[in-house]
Amino acid sequence: MFKRILSLLLALSSLLSLRADEGMWPLTLLSKIQDKMQAQGLKLTAEEIYSINNSSAKDAVVRLMKNGRMFCSGEIISDKGLFLTNHHCGYDAIQSLATPQDNILTNGFWAKSMAEERPAGFQIGLLRKIEDVTKGVLEGTKISDPEADRAKIVAANLAKVKNALLESLGDDKKNYVIEVTSFYNGNQFLAMFYEVYRDIRLVGTPPENVGKFGGETDNWRWPRHTCDFSMFRIYANSDNKPADFAKNNTAFKPKHHFPVSLKGVKEGDYAMTMGYPGRTTRNTYSEGIVYLSKKERPMRVQLRRDIMDVYETHMKADKNVRLMYSSKLASIGNYWNKFNGEAKELSKPEIFAKRKNEEKAFENWVRQNNKTETYGTVTSLYDEAYAELNKFGLFPVYFQDGFQNSVPMVAAMRASGLLEMLKDKKSDKGIAMAAEYRAGIPEMYIEFNSEIEKQVLAVVFRHLLQDLNPEYLPKSLKELAEKAKNNYTLMAEIAWKKSMFSDTTKLKKFFAKPSAKGLEKDLLFAIVNEYLTVLRTDLGPKFTEINTKLDRANRLFLAAKMEMEPTVTMPPDANATMRLSYGTIKSYEGRDALKYNYYTTSKGISEKYIAGDFEFDAPDKLMTLVKNKDFGQYADPTDGDLHTCFLSDNDITGGNSGSPVINGNGELIGIAFDGNWEAIASDFGFMPSVQRTISVDIRYVLFIVDKIGGASNIISEITLKK
């Protein structure tokens, strides 16, 4: 249960009317907003965007998945299954294929034929249809039911509904994932049918200093000049159905692919995104704002920053270490930047005051409409839950941002399930699991540098001992701190010497002949295992109570809001399902006397360029092309320059990375890759005056493919609209 607290599904949305362009809209609501979209410039109908029986735009939007988890979005751009996503979305796949001898992460890669394309190691899901299953999931429940009783009924109903839906697919069910997802905090349930394709291959990627130009310095900032894209292809069997990787698989034939516009964009043009935003918490209670801004976010920021400092120091000194830790740094750094901005924005007094006023308005409605029996406990439930979170909420946070960013600690955590099995002398399950664990050691330690990991361990120890209630800290950790007199570097040195999890040779030797006693004696294992026990046993009941209160308050508040405003079409919070956002190409004022243009050009690449720099280097070939203004058909017709990125006022969040940005004709104009710093707290409330989506101009993407990659074969299979 403690893991659920990490997501913090807070609740209390604005009681003010929604703007027409606010919202990450489920496809099931498109008919209700079609007129508003068309008024802004959309030429398509809702049916042309989402149809079950006919080809529609949703058939060209892909959901990137690995080990059953969604992580990014993408778009199909040819009738041969070619799709685009962000460079940072394809980063893990590219890094895993790179070697010191063939460093495609640094140098880029372009397959000149399908035979040269390389297995990517992830899957994609194609949304085939959506079904409202609310009635079946909530059967036998009442709004006033105690949360624990209701949860049991809902869980049983969910399993029954999901199983029935899978069985309805017949033999095709092996190719599908069906997710039954909660909307409006448990007041609605929709079933998403994803056909999952497993043979995905890398087609092309720009050099890292193109795809990640600007690094963490530019992250979440405008103006941008990052060509954040990578290209992959979907493969299928002879029936165009999902299949495991095989040489005789052929290119997937999609129901729809996006044509690509070379016309460019201008301010006020219609812009639409379709993708898979992960989580928003637009329904955030005032005490939740305080907890996040004063405690949870600042602590995450400092812990991540300290780990990143260790990475960067070593990466700058050794190019092989840079290759090894690039993906880890990017993963930690992206949300370090976001959490840092959120902490600052959410600390503004006016945000707390606005929430408080909205809560008072809600309570007045409850009293005036005699709804106290149903909704009267909402605010007190929130107050109680956040009081407890302030005491214990950092324990799971530090597990996620500390323990799980240390390779030896993760390895020890994965071994924790073996302990009881090894103690059972009557069963061979422990020995079998140990053999399986031993076989996975090379993969667990594939990104492992002993000096880096030892220093990261010292960072984690310091934060645990300085920031958390010592009453609940592992006994082994406190004893180690006492022995080392709170010298965190020395603590890491001692733990390193006394643990087999710091050395793969020792680890393999132990797991060839494992024993429960040997595992328990290991210092790092003891620290990790005791911390897990604290989370599950000592604090588990507290987290269960907190989650129960939040779940009930969230559900009741949204039920009340829908009752308060029955005629309002309300976009639900993002929950990793496909959403559409509509708006326009738009500049903005970042602050007083600072107005940002809606697009950037190649001039900015030259202005930022620093030869050999960690973040602002660029290929010589690119700099020569920019200097000579050799842009070919990708130059903008109005100024003859190469436009690199642009802004729109679309409403997106994490998970939307790689989403198509589409014009009113349904043509691809860009790939969304970031939000802007001034609206970094937009997950907690829409910010129309400054909230912008940052996208790479599709013409810059094609310029890199063509002029830098020389991949005319790729260009030739794309439907270009001039």
Enumerate the active-site residues.
88, 228, 657
Neighbours of 366 (CB within 10 A): 20
Q: How far apart, in Å, are the Cα atoms of 343 and each of 61, 112, 218, 241, 278?
A: 33, 46, 19, 46, 20
Cα–Cα dist 376/413, whole Å: 43
Q: CA torsion sign, 258 to 260 to 265 to 269? A: negative
Cα–Cα dist 255/133, whole Å: 26
Q: How far apart, in Å, are the Cα atoms of 693 and each of 266, 359, 666?
A: 15, 30, 18
Q: In 544-642, where do the E strands start and end?
A: 579-584, 588-591, 594-596, 599-601
Long-range pairs for 207-211: beta carbons < 8 A, 24 or more residues apart = 207/106, 207/107, 207/108, 207/619, 207/708, 208/87, 208/105, 208/106, 208/108, 208/326, 209/106, 209/617, 209/618, 209/619, 210/108, 210/618, 210/619, 210/622, 210/704, 210/708, 211/87, 211/88
Two structure tokens written together for 216: 């963490």
Q: Which residue has tokens 């044509």?
A: 259
Cα–Cα dist 148/331, whole Å: 36
Contact 178, 165 (CB under 8 A): yes
Q: In 157-229, where do the E strands start and end?
A: 176-183, 188-197, 199-205
**Which of 579, 677, 679, 573 has the alpha carbon at shortest distance from 281?**
573
**Which of 279, 280, 277 has the alpha carbon at shortest distance from 578?**
277
Cα–Cα dist 2/471, whole Å: 18
3-state SS assignment for residue 57: helix
223 prior amide bond cis, ω within 30: yes
**Terminal alpha carbon distance of the chain:** 54
**Which of 246, 236, 250, 253 has the alpha carbon at shortest distance from 197?**
236
